[in-house]
């Protein structure tokens, strides 16, 4: 159970925090052994969390880069000869994220209560993944915690970079699309209706293209709000369906089939899988445990199901490469690298090589995607604006010709 305490040090410095202990008496003994003069010790209710817990969790997020920097700095401090508590205290002071400061404080309290670092970090699994915690646990047992922390930081950095690639690739095209829709909306809402009234008052026959565009504008003006409501309802229904297991499976399957983008998403999943398995293999876990954590670490339900099937085959006695070869989601190069790694005993090395190869391919795919989307959007905007302008110009010439 967690206990909140308030006290002071021998030099009259106020200290407060939380401590995990079996009872209040044990908590008081632990704090007294640390040289604290305790003013108050109270149990923390699991049903009524403190304001310090609620406010940071609602308004302060922790980005992966914060965990990556924390891991590298902790490794450096431990390597410099500092003990774990002193290292964490230094990192807590210099952290600019209040939520992360709170987490470091709780981790230190658990360590003071006798917990291991991996167990203390495991209580915050929203920020420290199972792979992270397991790797730290193995590092504690082997005495190579600094090395393990750097390996986990490298893993997280590569994973964050891979996930960020697609978002960065789509950011500029999405911005251009929003601007394009806004411009076209202004033309349809304000410019074209004024020309409709003008041509209607003249009572002349307009060209077919102009009539079609003006009729479309009038239809949108009359039925646009209803169309938006229907579209919104459909979007909500689709969103709710995607929250169901069948809907999520369908969405993830469709994501993998999108041209270029789907292949990049597929490669990103394989990269995450390769790096997860590599770091867990280095940590000395069994293949069954490695597969279990890799399954939980996957973000795509289709790949998750494929990994589950591989795990079942491995439990039956098949090799990892043989079971992967049965699925079309594990590409031939990855299967071949896994086979070589199993034969040589260097599975972690070959998996990392496969991940790096796929990362290069993803970067190429993203460059190709950006190179295709940007001119396509520009061309689409140009065609729409040109049609509107052409319809207005031809209408003016038609009115002028009929007036003569």
Residue 247 contacts residue 241 (beta carbons within 8 Å): yes
Write out the residue range of the structural domain in which residue 347 sits: 154-404
pLDDT at 338 (0 to 100): 92
Instruction: Determine how many CB atoms are found less than 10 A away from the CB of residue 199.
Output: 20
pLDDT at 307 (0 to 100): 92
**339-361: pLDDT as tens digits:** 999 998 889 899 989 988 888 88
Lowest mean pLDDT among 45-59, 108-122, 309-323: 45-59
Q: Which two tokens stand for residue 200?
A: 């209607």
Tell me, yes or no, whether 57 lies in a domain. no
Q: Please report how the helices 208-242 and 192-202 are oriented relative to each other, as an axis angle in degrees rounded to 10.
A: 150
Say how far apart CA 270 and CA 342 lie, in whole Å.
18
Q: Are residues 43 and 162 in the same domain?
A: no
Where would I find the H helices in 60-207? 64-79, 84-94, 98-112, 117-122, 130-142, 145-186, 192-202
Residue 85 contacts residue 47 (beta carbons within 8 Å): no
Q: Are residues 178 and 296 in the same domain?
A: yes
Say how far apart CA 221 and CA 187 lie, in whole Å.
12
Mean pLDDT of 326-350: 90
Tell me, yes or no, whether 56 lies in a domain. no
pLDDT at 29 (0 to 100): 75
Domain final residue, candidates 31, 48, 65:
48
Q: What are the CA-CA distances from residue 332 to residues 146, 303, 322, 327, 337 (Å)?
A: 35, 15, 11, 10, 9
Say how far apart CA 393 and CA 388 lie, in whole Å.
9
**227-283: pLDDT as tens digits:** 889 999 999 999 999 989 899 999 999 988 887 778 888 988 898 899 888 888 887
Q: Are residues 39 and 169 in the same domain?
A: no
pLDDT at 49 (0 to 100): 47
**126-152: pLDDT as tens digits:** 888 888 888 888 888 878 888 889 888
Instruction: Compute and round to an integer the Cα radius of gyration of the chain.
Output: 30
Helices and strands in the chain, H and E counts: 17, 3
**Listed ranges 189-193, 206-210, 271-275; the one with the highest mean pLDDT:** 271-275
Tell me, yes or no, whether 90 lies in a domain. no
Query: Would you say residue 60 has pLDDT above 60?
Result: no
Residue, of 404 and 41, whose pLDDT is higher: 41
Q: What letters, b where the CB count within 10 A reaches 16 and e where it falls short, cover 12-47?
A: eeeeebbbbbeeeebbbebbeeeebeeeebeeeeee
Tell me, yes or no, whether 55 lies in a domain. no
pTM of the predicted model, to two decimals? 0.66
pLDDT at 219 (0 to 100): 80
Mean pLDDT of 155-168: 74
Query: Would you say residue 51 has pLDDT above 50?
Result: no
Q: What is the CATH number of the domain that holds 311?
A: 1.20.81.30
Instruction: Determine how many CB atoms are found less than 10 A away from the CB of residue 384.
Output: 16
Q: What is the phi-psi region of residue 226: left when phi exceeds 0, alpha when psi lies from -120 to 50, beta otherwise?
A: alpha
Lowest mean pLDDT among 3-12, 219-228, 253-262: 3-12
> What is the band of 50 on the pLDDT scale with cuts at 50, 70, 90?
very low
- Total domain count for the chain? 2
The mean pLDDT of the chain is 81
Tell me, yes or no, whether 290 lies in a domain. yes
Tell me, yes or no, whether 106 lies in a domain. no
Lowest mean pLDDT among 38-42, 234-238, 290-294, 315-319: 38-42
Nearest to 157 by CA among 364, 298, 359: 359
Query: Would you say residue 53 has pLDDT above 50?
Result: no
Q: What letters, b where the CB count within 10 A reaches 16 and e where it falls short, cover 252-275?
A: beebbeeeebebbbbbbbbbbbbb
Say how far apart CA 345 and CA 281 lie, in whole Å.
10
Say how far apart CA 228 and CA 374 lie, in whole Å.
27
Tell me, yes or no, whether 77 lies in a domain. no
- What does 249-293 look like in DSSP terms, one character per residue? HHHHHHHHHSTTHHHHHHHHHHHHHHHHHHHHHHTT--HHHHHHH
Tell me, yes or no, whether 240 lies in a domain. yes
Q: Are residues 208 and 351 in the same domain?
A: yes
Lowest mean pLDDT among 80-89, 158-167, 311-320: 158-167
């Amino acid at each position: 159970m967690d206990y909140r305490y308030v006290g002071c040090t021998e030099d009259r410095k106020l200290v407060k925090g939380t401590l995990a202990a079996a009872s209040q008496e044990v908590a008081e003994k632990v704090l007294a052994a640390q040289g604290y003069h305790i003013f108050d010790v109270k149990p923390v209710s699991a049903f009524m969390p403190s304001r310090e817990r609620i406010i940071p969790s609602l308004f302060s997020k922790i980005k992966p880069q914060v965990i990556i920097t924390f891991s590298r700095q902790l490794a450096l401090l431990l390597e410099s000869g500092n003990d774990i508590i002193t290292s964490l205290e230094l990192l807590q002071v210099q952290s600019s994220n209040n939520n992360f400061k709170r987490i470091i404080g709780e981790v230190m309290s658990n360590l003071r209560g006798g917990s291991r670092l991996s167990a203390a970090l495991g209580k915050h699994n929203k920020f420290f993944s199972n792979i992270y915690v397991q790797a730290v646990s193995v590092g504690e047992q082997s005495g190579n915690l600094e090395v393990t922390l750097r390996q986990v930081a490298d893993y997280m950095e590569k994973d964050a970079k891979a996930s960020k690639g697609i978002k960065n690739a789509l950011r500029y095209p999405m911005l251009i699309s929003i601007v394009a829709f806004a411009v076209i909306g202004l033309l349809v809402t304000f410019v074209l209706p004024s020309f409709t009234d003008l041509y209607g008052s003249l009572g002349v026959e307009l060209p077919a293209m102009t009539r079609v565009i003006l009729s479309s504008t009038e239809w949108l003006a009359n039925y646009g709000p209803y169309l938006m409501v229907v579209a919104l309802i459909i979007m909500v229904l689709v969103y709710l369906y995607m929250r169901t297991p069948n809907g999520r499976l369908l969405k993830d399957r469709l994501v993998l089939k999108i041209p270029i983008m789907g292949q990049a998403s597929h490669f990103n999943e394989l990269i995450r899988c390769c790096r997860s398995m590599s770091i867990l293999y280095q940590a000395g876990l069994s293949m069954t445990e490695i597969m279990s954590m890799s399954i939980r670490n996957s973000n795509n339900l289709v790949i998750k199901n494929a990994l589950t099937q591989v795990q079942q085959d491995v439990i039956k006695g098949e090799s990892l490469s043989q079971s992967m070869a049965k699925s079309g989601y594990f590409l031939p190069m990855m299967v071949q690298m896994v086979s070589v790694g199993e034969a040589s005993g260097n599975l972690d090395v070959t998996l990392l090589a496969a991940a790096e190869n796929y990362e290069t391919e993803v970067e190429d795919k993203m460059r190709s995607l950006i190179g295709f989307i940007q001119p396509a959007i520009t061309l689409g905007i140009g065609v729409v604006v040109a049609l509107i302008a052409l319809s207005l110009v031809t209408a003016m010439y038609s009115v002028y010709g009929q007036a003569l």
